[in-house]
Structure 1
Amino acid sequence: MQNIPGFILGIFRDSQRGALQMFWTATCMSSSRHGPNISSPVCLLPATAAMHHSEADSSLLIYMGAVVLYGGTILYRAKKNCVEKATSFSWGLLLLLASGVLCFATLRSYLGLSLFSLMCFLFCIYTSDQALLPVDHKAVLITGSDSGIGHALAKYLDSLGFTVFATVLNERGAGAEKLRQSCSDRLSVLQLDITNSVQIKEAYLEVRRKLQGADLWGVINNAGVLGLPGDGELLPMQSYKQCMDVNFFGPVELSKAFLPLLRKSKGRLINISSMAGGIPMPGFAAYGASKAALSMFSGVMRQELSKWGIKVSVLHPSGFKTCIQGTPEIWNKEERTLLENLMPDVKQDYGEEYILKMKMALNAMQFLSMSDLSPVLCDVLHALLAERPCGLYTPGKNAYKYLLIFCYSPLWFYDFCIRKMFSTSDMPSALRAAEKANKNL
């Protein structure tokens, strides 16, 4: 027992000693009331204590052996299968081991061991979802690979041994050229504007030709646009239409085109939606509506395509630094378009100063967004290769937290949290004037 850490052994022995002390007190009280009795268990207490310590040591050895064997097996499987959801997995394993300690310290030996074994079995069922299939040069199509998540994803999957079809908006652009230079011969760059039906058909035929009868394992709808964030009343209809065309109708048409190939391989359809597609967020009326449509489409397709063996997943990433936010030149152009299309009374109520400050939200987004894209890449890999992938992934800071608040708390509390998240002192001109008038009364 010398090799067992003293503080762990102390916990177990203290619990046993506590039980023995209670037993000693009860028997002493019994002896004082009824007189001494040489056959009383009190006379056997030293032997009983030794027996209890022996049983505690034996039980502790069994527990520690089970913990080491089980924990080592789980960690080996995690390393072997490259489980990327390391944080939740590690916390789950730690919680399981802590519950084993609690079972031993508070329950009888065999009852505690039985309960711990049951928890190990349930955790085994959970971790079986984390087992990843081999890559084996699986073929994957990725849209929007010019920059951002799509570009990083194309490089990442190529480095893992996938056969990658990276579609770009401009096959002669800088992003396409970087992919050709930095990736292996397994990666093919394809021209594709997902709002162009002709180019979707051409991409489908080109992928089929290059596969030469092999299977297409995955389609990843990543391409998207953000537009200028702003109050929904102010955004021109063109912004709504553009977001729906690129973020929803394009992925739907592309998915429909490639589903026959996925049906053959029983592969994966993965859609990159957004945190704004799962919860309402001020300033994202057009973008959020289009991503919410994509998320709902993903959920319905997950249900409908399961009979064909196709697994569908959707990602709701939080803020990551990508080119989707655009550039100052694009912001200024969209700002001019917005001002030119506003009704005079709307423009007067909001005020030009308020409207011109809307693009400051993009600067705040850049500041708050994460530059490390690995949470998204790891979740996409899990969705591609897990035997039982999740239907929904929420990579990034606060993505899951705000989804939980929206789903399980009163709406007033969610609105309060979102106002804190997007807090600003800017007010429309008409509201500022009314507030000033009220103060002067």
Structure 2
Amino acid sequence: MEPGLERWAYGALWAALAGSLALRAARRALGPGRGLVLPLALLAGLQSLCRACLPLPLGLALAAAAACLLLWRASPRRLLPVASRAVLVTGLHSAFAGCDSGFGQATAQHLDAMGFRVFASVLDPQGPGAQELRRSCSPSLTLLQMDLTKPEDIKHVLQHIQAHTNSTGDLPFPCLAAYGTSKAALSLLMDTFRSELQPWGVKVSLVLPGYYKTGTTCNPAFWNQQKQRLVASLPQELLQAYGEDYVEEINRQFIQFMKVAAEDLSAVVNSITDGLLAANPAVRYYPGQGLGLMYFIHRYLPYFVQDLFLKGFFINPKLPRALRQGDHNDTKAA
């Protein structure tokens, strides 16, 4: 194949790509420019490989397919108008959090600023979290007292919303069995809802955030208090088998891990907003650095790789006292 023809063919591909990007930018139908740097660099690298290793027709076809994929990813998701939409925001991280702090409060503020009619559940309508929402949000925001563990609260809130509107995880984190179980159950429930509600035109998305600093969960005093409650409530035989130093080490690792928690909640809030307004929302959102990789490892790689990853980057429990040879022998002698 003549080098001149090859240069002309690939040059025409880049010209067509540049023209498409410029046209979309003029129509303001293009995502952030900084997000295009890496895809364009990868496309240039792929083109070099195609030119070096493949005949012109096959290489050009592969490069053109990659360019089409880049254009598709560069286009912002089509969002539905906010119009007069209403949304109920409950505790997004914990049943006991509500919109008093964390994800719930940040989401309520963001959606209110976008023009939604927001119903925000709070545990204490007179607490500092509720006062902050009254101060920072528009008069259309409605605060509703609700504890998600109390059915009567839920019923009251639903009745209020119906009267004021037109009605029409799952990663196996070590030492977080109850938390992981609840998230896995929630994930399966949302998958079921998505299937059952699809004929009604209702789309269901699940937001699985990474580790963020919300409420008291990033306060060392909170974890120390949890540790003391756990030690005080454990049966003596179980505490003897594990050892108080085992609990102390787990607590130390939790406190160490919380130091890497992200403070900026905007990625989670943006995922929730996209799920509400996108014409075709994602089934799952993974806001948080490296979270997509974590779920990929969990879903597609062998179990021993999952275990190594979790122990290397999350919590690596020490051996319980009863399984440590020296301590085990001392216990038997006693």
Please report the TM-score for the alignment, with normalisation by the length of structure 2: 0.81
Residues 112, 138 of structure 2: 8 Å contact kept: yes
Residues 29, 76 of structure 2: 8 Å contact kept: no
Is 2:45 the partner of 1:153? Answer: no
Q: 1:138 aligns with which of 85, 110, 122?
A: 85
Deviation at 1:307, TM superposition (A): 0.9
Counterpart position of 1:387 = 279
Is 2:151 the partner of 1:197? Answer: yes
Q: Equivalent residue of 1:345, what SS? A: helix
Deviation at 1:174, TM superposition (A): 0.5
Q: Equivalent residue of 2:204, what SS? A: strand
Q: 1:364 to 1:115 in 2, by over 3 A?
A: closer
Q: Equivalent residue of 2:255, what SS? A: helix
Residues 216, 222 of structure 2: 8 Å contact kept: no
Alignment of 1:73-222 (within 5 A): 73-75=23-25, 80=29, 87=35, 91-92=38-39, 95-96=42-43, 99=46, 117-121=64-68, 130-143=77-90, 144-211=98-165, 213=166
Counterpart residue identity of residue 191, structure 1: Q
1:305-364 deviations in whole A, cap 9, x for unaligned?
111111111122111111151655554554343233322211112222332443323312
Alignment of 1:29-40 (within 5 A): none
Whole-Å Cα distance in 1 between the matches of residues 253 and 7 of structure 2? 62
Q: Equivalent residue of 1:417, what SS? A: helix
Q: 2:232 aligns with which of 340, 346, 351?
A: 340
Residues 84, 117 of structure 2: 8 Å contact kept: yes
Q: Which runs of 5+ in 1 are unaligned?
A: 1-14, 18-52, 214-260, 265-276
Counterpart position of 1:49 = none
Please report the TM-score for the alignment, with normalisation by the length of structure 1: 0.63
Q: Equivalent residue of 2:263, what SS? A: coil
1:225-280 deviations in whole A, cap 9, x for unaligned?
xxxxxxxxxxxxxxxxxxxxxxxxxxxxxxxxxxxx4xx3xxxxxxxxxxxx3221
Q: 1:75 to 1:415 in 2, by over 3 A?
A: farther
Whole-Å Cα distance in 1 between the matches of residues 315 and 149 of structure 2? 35
Deviates more, 1:115-124 or 1:140-149: 115-124
Residues 101, 215 of structure 2: 8 Å contact kept: yes
Is 2:257 the partner of 1:310? Answer: no
Whole-Å Cα distance in 1 between the matches of residues 192 and 74 of structure 2? 26
Q: 1:403 aligns with which of 274, 291, 295?
A: 295
Deviation at 1:155, TM superposition (A): 1.2
Q: Which runs of 5+ in 2 are unaligned?
A: 91-97
Counterpart residue identity of residue 367, structure 1: K
Deviation at 1:131, TM superposition (A): 1.8
Deviation at 1:152, TM superposition (A): 0.9
Q: 1:314 to 1:62 in 2, by over 3 A?
A: same
Counterpart position of 1:292 = 184
Deviation at 1:205, TM superposition (A): 2.1
Q: 1:137 to 1:95 in 2, by over 3 A?
A: farther
Whole-Å Cα distance in 1 between the matches of residues 29 and 104 of structure 2? 27
Deviation at 1:420, TM superposition (A): 1.2
Counterpart residue identity of residue 265, structure 2: L
CA-based RMSD of the aligned residues comes to 3.4
Report how many aligned residue pairs link the two structures: 323
Deviation at 1:406, TM superposition (A): 1.8
Structure ID, larger Rg? 1
Q: 1:285 to 1:208 in 2, by over 3 A?
A: same
Q: Equivalent residue of 1:325, what SS? A: coil
Is 2:49 the partner of 1:65? Answer: no
Counterpart position of 1:362 = 254
